[in-house]
């Protein structure tokens, strides 16, 4: 049996020193994506290894050894552990900040690392600086457990992140082929919601777990963000609550042969911490953004490893595809005969984002959506059903009955949450009226087989808050 043995001493000194910069730093902009489903997780997953004790206030975990850490107990950033990173505005994701090595943007205070965003003025215009640090050539490792305690800032346009990139840029190719592991991303205008994501492939694909607090926010205090990375499986946790397990990914040049699984997540990665300002995902700051308190605080960063990892015959699990009902419909409760819970992610899920205010209920075999505020994006008011099997080369029909109490538009599509939110059925604008109408659309699946297609009805930013009524929703394979 082949095993890879991980040394618990000198995490990076013998690994990848002097390699090229991480490929994500020269990547094209990360696409804007529709948010993934937002479960509220209450109980830790069984797979999480819980702590057994502490030594010098550092948690120990069964089966793991601590190989690298920083408790930020000194008075300044430890340059033997971290590299301050300099980068000009707009280098990635249309972000506004300049990353500097200034002590105004990166400093240690009261036992925490502070990455601070500052708003200044240059050439008569607003100008932003901020802090970013990484562990490249200080802690590069393959497989392990990463635990970070951090407190995020609140404010429109602020974007704190804890993430990882590969040490060698060219092993599998530039982003996204090289892979990216995002242990935590939080948007400053949605500080009750944390995202954990892996990026990979060509074309770009991703898998994202999202957790939303029932009360309070991640800006209220310190929270613990955890990655467990093993051959063939990556698991994420927030405060011990499981967000997502990823065990099926790929990397290849588009149209080319795939690299052997578990590439690209079988190579050295290093850690990065940063506080971005603006960009394609959070949007830019506005007059409400409080830069006096735009501080990303990190209490500790700890990396653990098991004594060894079995890399023999690492394979993807068999994909599970939903079977249709006897009448060929892949949609569960498409006739709305069951007044199901629309927030439990069991079949239908109703979600709100970006200022959307609305309610949904099932009555008399009809799903009724009443909207108070349409929000600022089309998915601000959203009804979805995930886990729809999409097979390359097959043709599908989406059909439904719809009406409204006034003429208005909605958008229907079949999206790919695990494939960069690509559209299998393109966003299709539908005009509905007080008279019931039947709508039907066909499309042929042209991309890789995907067991996780998602039907979406997007009712935000439509120019109307009129009610929406849906019946008899079907997705069926017709060719």
The four Cα atoms 104, 110, 115, 119 give a dihedral, to 10 degrees, of: -50
Q: For residues 144 and 136, give the distance between their C-alpha atoms in angstroms, rounded to a whole number.
A: 16
Tokens of 116: 């601070």
**Which single residue is written with the structure tokens 């819980």?**
50
The single residue of 25, 85, 180, 230 carrying the catalytic annotation is 180
Residue 152 neighbours by CB under 8 Å, 6+ apart: 158, 160, 186, 188, 191, 218, 219, 296
CA gap 220, 115 in Å, rounded: 17
Rounded CA gap, 179 and 206, in Å? 10
Contact of 234 with 246, CB cutoff 8 Å = yes
For the chain, the helix, strand and coil percentages under 3-state DSSP, each to the nearest 5: 0, 45, 50
Q: Is 180 a catalytic residue?
A: yes
The rounded distance, in Å, linking the Cα atoms of 171 and 178 is 7
Contacts of residue 142, Cβ cutoff 8 Å, sequence gap at least 6: 4, 6, 266, 267, 268, 269
End-to-end CA distance of the chain: 45
Q: Does residue 215 have an active-site annotation?
A: no
d(CA 71, CA 57): 10
Q: Among the options 25, 95, 98, 185, which is catalytic?
A: 185
Encoding tokens for residue 204? 């770009």
* Residue among 158, 195, 165 nearest 276 (CA): 158
Residue 293 sits at φ, ψ, to 5 deg, of: -120, 25
Active site residues: 180, 185
């Amino acid at each position: 049996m082949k095993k890879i043995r991980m040394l618990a001493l000198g995490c990076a000194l013998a690994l990848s020193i002097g390699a090229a910069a991480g490929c994500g730093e020269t990547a094209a902009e990360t696409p804007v994506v529709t948010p993934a489903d937002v479960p509220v997780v209450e109980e830790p997953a069984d797979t999480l290894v819980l702590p057994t004790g502490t030594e010098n206030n550092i948690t120990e975990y069964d089966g793991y050894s601590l190989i690298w850490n920083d408790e930020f107990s000194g008075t300044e950033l430890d340059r033997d552990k971290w590299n301050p990173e300099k980068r000009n505005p707009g280098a990635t994701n249309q972000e506004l900040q300049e990353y500097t090595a200034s002590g105004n943007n990166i400093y240690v205070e009261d036992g925490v690392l502070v990455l601070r965003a500052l708003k200044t003025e240059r050439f008569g215009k607003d100008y932003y600086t901020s802090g970013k640090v990484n562990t490249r050539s200080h802690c590069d490792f393959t497989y392990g457990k990463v635990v970070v305690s951090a407190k995020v800032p609140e404010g429109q346009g602020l974007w704190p992140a804890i993430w990882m990139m590969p040490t060698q840029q060219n092993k599998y190719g530039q982003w996204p082929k090289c892979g990216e592991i995002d242990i935590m991303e939080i948007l400053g205008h949605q500080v009750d919601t944390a995202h954990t994501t892996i990026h990979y492939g060509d074309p770009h694909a991703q898998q994202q777990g999202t957790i939303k607090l029932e009360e309070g926010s991640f800006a209220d205090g310190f929270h613990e963000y955890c990655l467990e990375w093993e051959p063939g499986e990556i698991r994420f946790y927030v405060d011990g609550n499981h967000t997502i397990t990823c065990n099926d990914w790929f990397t290849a040049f588009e149209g080319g042969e795939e690299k052997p699984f578990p590439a690209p997540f079988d190579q050295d990665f290093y850690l990065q911490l940063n506080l971005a300002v603006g960009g394609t995902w959070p949007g830019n700051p506005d007059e409400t953004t409080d830069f006096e308190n735009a501080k990303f605080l990190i209490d500790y960063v700890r990396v653990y490893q098991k004594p060894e990892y079995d890399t023999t015959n690492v394979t993807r699990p068999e994909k599970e595809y939903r079977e249709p009902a006897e009448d060929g419909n892949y949609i569960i409760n498409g006739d709305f005969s069951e007044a199901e819970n629309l927030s439990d992610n069991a079949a239908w899920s109703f979600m709100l984002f970006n200022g959307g205010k609305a309610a949904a209920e099932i009555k008399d075999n009809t799903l009724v959506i009443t909207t108070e505020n349409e929000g600022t994006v089309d998915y601000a008011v959203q009804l979805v059903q995930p886990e729809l099997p999409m097979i390359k080369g097959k043709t599908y029909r989406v059909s439904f009955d719809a009406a409204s109490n006034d003429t208005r538009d909605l958008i229907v599509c079949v999206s790919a949450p695990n494939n960069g939110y690509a559209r299998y059925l393109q966003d299709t604008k539908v005009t509905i009226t007080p008279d019931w109408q039947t709508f039907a659309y066909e499309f042929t699946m042209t991309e890789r087989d995907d067991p996780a297609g998602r039907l979406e009805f997007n009712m935000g930013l439509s120019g109307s808050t009129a009610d929406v009524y849906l019946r008899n929703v079907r997705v069926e394979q017709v060719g």
